[in-house]
Amino acid sequence: MSILSKKFVWGIFLIVVVAWLLLRDWNPGRRELEKSQLALLSVRSWHVKAVNATPGLDLQTEDDVSCPDFHSIITNTAVPENPSVQEVLFVGSTAFRKVNGSKWVSVPRRQVGRACSDGPLIETKPLIATIVEMQTEAHLKNVGTADSNGVSCRRWEISLLRGSMSRLPAGFICIDETSHLPLEIQNREGRVVYQFSNWNAPIKIEQPLDSEIVQ
């Protein structure tokens, strides 16, 4: 290969690299995810409502966390043959559980502070880890504004990049344009929805009264 040909090839290569860097830096979806990742590092309280209405399953979970010591989980399972409501409460170093409105029962405390160190979850994966993965494994397309629990947010369509082996859900994420915190994530069919609210808001979770606990 002649010197002139080598220079031509290197010139094309440099043009491709510069174009890729410019497109990467000007990707508004990626920039918004980076802002969201940064905002999630400073949250100390939140509410998550997760709804899974896939065929054969109707599950709803309400999750409230106020760091460092308070965590409440309410799970409603609407299976026709066996509907149930389970509540789990973590207050400081104590934990309680009740099913279908029965009295609270003291249960072994899970690892202290786990909810606060992990942050909100998408299934069993920390939300912040999902946001980080979206930055490298997905393309986000701006599809306008939407409303989540009365709050306006920017809605982005999530599409996995070609060749990606990620298990990220194809669907939508709606991000508050002021706080840059996620307000909603759902799959494309809208059957699995996560709604986030009460970011850094005061959340009061109290220990059950003695009369409400099985002695």
Do 77 and 62 meet the contact criterion of CB atoms below 8 Å apart?
no
Peptide bond into 169 cis (omega under 30): no
**More confident of the two residues 166 and 142:** 142
Show the domain range for 163: 30-203
Number of domains observed in the structure of the chain: 1
> How many Å apart are CA 70 and CA 94, to the nearest integer?
10
- pLDDT tens digits along 153-191: 999 999 888 777 777 777 999 999 999 999 999 988 878
Q: Is residue 100 part of a domain?
A: yes
The CATH number of the domain where 79 resides is what? 2.50.20.20
Q: Locate 47 and state its tokens.
A: 């509410």
Q: What does the pLDDT read at residue 198?
A: 95
> Could you count the other beta carbons within 10 Å of the beta carbon of residue 72?
19
> How many Å apart are CA 138 and CA 164, to the nearest integer?
8
Q: Is residue 2 part of a domain?
A: no
**pTM summary value:** 0.82
Q: Nearest to residue 130, comparing CAs of 83, 186, 89, 90?
A: 186
For the residues of 154-181, what is the DSSP string, one character each? EEEEEEEPTT----PPSEEEEE-TTT--
Q: What does the pLDDT read at residue 146?
A: 94
